[in-house]
Amino acid sequence: MSTFRFVVADVFTDVPFAGNQLAVFTDARDIPEERLQELAREINFSETVFVYPAAGEGHARMRIFTPVLELPFAGHPVLGTAFVLGGPLQLDELWLETGAGVVPVRLERDGARIVFGWMRQPPFPFEPYDRAEELLALLGLEESGLPVELYCQGPGHVLIELDSPEAVAALRPDIAALLELNAYGTACFARDGDRWKARVFVPAHGVGEDPATGSFAGPLALHLARHGRIAFGDEIEIRQGVEIGRPSTLYAVSRSPEEVEVGGSAVIVARGEFRL
């Protein structure tokens, strides 16, 4: 029988039982390959991370699994893993090797405690989404305030702007129909005063609605800057997850299409082990 230890963190929140849950296996070297997806499915969070010694210039290498597949990159797993590893490693900047390249994460501390992190996201392409009319109709929407575009970072997300935060809150998509139509995440957002309200649905990756989506937050900042809603270099605050009882707060800034950062807090809430 082997013992595999893991840590649970709530990410994009500074209090327990909010944000997006993440399990991090801090030393995955002895976990058999065929167990990785099984463990992610058993835990059933949006993502589970397996950490290995660095293969290149990073401080550690990580693999990211949803309940149904492996991803090259995802936002809350990178930020959460930086919080989990940053304490023992005592670094102000952590370089994490992902399937999309090395991601630097700057950590801010209050004394010994890590309180915030900013990750520099890997570059990502974007393009018009070719099934926009079908997707809008499925959501019960007549139009999007900005062009409906696909940003291919991590799971990839189709961005749709609604006219009010109330309209975003009122969405009740048919998840099965959404799964059949769209192989990517569907990210709906609206301005809410000085913030942006968002909901993200990713059924193709085994996640009906995601509580906090770092791989959407960076593209949203770029999308808003490209289309003149904000200026390049403006920092935005995003609220997500309220409708599913996991309120989350994400920050993002796009200084250029090639320079995008996403930030937030995280808290470690549990430690455990599997004996298999």
Q: Cβ-count burial of 127 within 10 angstroms (0-12 exposed, 13-18 middle, 19+ buried)?
A: exposed
Catalytic residue of the set 33, 47, 143, 261 = 47
pTM: 0.96
Tokens 């059924």 belong to residue: 203
pLDDT tens for the 276 residues of the chain, in order: 899 999 999 999 999 999 999 999 999 999 999 999 999 999 999 999 999 999 999 999 999 999 999 999 999 999 999 999 998 888 999 999 999 999 999 999 998 899 999 999 999 999 999 999 999 999 999 999 999 999 999 889 999 999 999 999 999 999 999 999 999 999 999 999 999 999 999 999 999 999 999 999 999 999 999 999 999 999 999 999 999 999 999 999 999 999 999 999 999 999 999 998
CATH of span 3-121+264-275: 3.10.310.10
Q: What is the pLDDT of residue 264?
A: 98
Contact of 93 with 104, CB cutoff 8 Å:
yes
Single-letter residue type at 106: R
CATH topology of domain 126-257: Diaminopimelate Epimerase; Chain A, domain 1 (3.10.310)
Residues of the chain with CATH 3.10.310.10: 3-121+264-275, 126-257
Single-letter residue type at 268: I
Residue 243 bears catalytic tag: no
Q: What is the pLDDT of residue 112?
A: 86
